[in-house]
C-alpha cells in the first residue's frame, strides 16, 4: 500500500543557505511567470501558499489569483513581492530590490516618489486603468508606462508568433 505524505509548506522546510538562494530565485521566477505568461497575480504569495517537493517549489491556492488588469492587481503584486522578500531575508538570503523586481516583472516604471531605498511603498496605489489615475500630473506617466509595456508585449509576441491578447503558456508551464 502506498502512503501519501503531503509536501511541506515552505515555512516548514529546513534548507542550507545555498538552497534558500536557489529557492528564492525559483519563487521570483514563479511570480514573474504568473504575471507575464498567465497574466495573473497570486495576491497571497507567501511561505504559507508554497509547498516544497523534490527540490522544487509549487504554488498552491491559485484559485484566488486575479487578472493583471483587475483593479488593485499592482498593489497585490507589490505585496506578493514584499512578502517573498521578507521571508527570504529572514532566511539570510540577499534579496533583490523590490522596486527593481516590480519594474522587471511588469515592465512598468515606478514613480520616484513611491521608491524608498529600493523598497516599495506598500501603502501606495498603482493604477491598472487610466480611469484610476487621480492626478493630472500622473496621467502622462501612466500613458507612457502602459505604451512602453504594450510595445514590449508586442515585440515579445512578434518574436514568439503568438497573439498579444492570449496567454502564451499552458498551465503545465507554470
Hey, what's the cell of 56? 522544487
What are the DSSP E strand ranges found in 69-167?
115-116, 119-120
Closest CA to 87 of 59, 48, 121, 123: 48
Catalytic residue from among 33, 61, 96, 138: 61
What long-range pairs does 100-104 form, CB within 8 A, spacing at least 24? 101/28, 101/31, 102/77, 102/78, 104/32
Can 173 be counted among the known catalytic residues? Answer: no
Catalytic residue from among 12, 33, 44, 67: 44
Hey, what's the cell of 125? 496605489
Can 117 be counted among the known catalytic residues? Answer: no
Catalytic site positions: 44, 61
Amino acid at each position: 500500500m502506498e502512503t501519501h505524505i503531503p509536501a511541506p509548506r515552505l515555512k516548514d522546510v529546513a534548507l542550507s543557505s545555498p538552497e534558500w538562494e536557489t529557492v528564492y530565485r525559483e519563487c521570483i521566477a514563479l511570480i514573474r511567470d504568473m504575471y507575464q505568461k498567465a497574466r495573473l497575480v497570486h495576491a497571497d504569495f507567501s511561505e504559507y501558499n508554497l509547498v516544497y517537493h523534490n527540490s522544487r517549489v509549487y504554488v498552491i491556492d491559485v484559485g484566488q489569483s486575479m487578472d493583471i488588469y483587475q483593479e488593485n492587481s499592482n498593489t497585490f503584486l507589490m505585496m506578493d513581492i514584499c512578502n517573498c522578500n521578507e521571508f527570504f531575508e529572514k532566511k539570510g538570503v540577499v534579496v533583490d530590490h523590490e522596486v527593481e523586481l516590480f519594474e522587471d516583472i511588469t515592465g512598468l516604471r515606478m514613480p520616484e516618489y513611491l521608491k524608498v531605498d529600493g523598497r516599495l511603498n506598500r501603502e501606495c496605489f498603482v493604477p491598472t486603468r487610466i480611469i484610476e489615475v487621480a492626478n493630472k500630473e500622473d496621467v502622462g506617466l501612466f500613458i507612457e508606462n502602459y505604451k512602453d509595456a504594450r510595445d514590449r508585449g508586442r515585440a515579445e509576441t512578434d518574436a514568439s508568433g503568438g497573439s498579444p491578447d492570449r496567454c502564451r503558456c499552458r498551465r503545465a508551464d507554470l
